[in-house]
Amino acid sequence: MSGIDKMKNKAEELSGKGKEAVGNATDDPDLQAEGQADQASGNLKQAGEKVKDVFK
């Protein structure tokens, strides 16, 4: 299950990067912020998965 969670978290991070890039290209600050939030969320979840792995 952990591997699937890691892939989902990475996908969320990459999706955030895409949203941020589109927001930059279209000068849409809301989309930029949403992309940055998605990236931060994905990174935080990945960090949690790494901590879980340490304690296995």
**Residue 14 CB neighbours (<10 A):** 13
DSSP at 55: T
Mean pLDDT of all residues belonging to the chain: 90
| Sequence spans of domains, the chain | 2-54
The answer to whether residues 22 and 31 touch, using CB atoms and an 8 Å cutoff, is yes
50 pLDDT band, cuts 50/70/90, is confident
Q: Distance between CA 49 and CA 3 in Å, rounded?
A: 9
Total-model pTM = 0.82
> With contact defined as beta carbons under 8 Å apart, do 13 and 46 qualify?
yes
**pLDDT at residue 27 tops 90:** yes
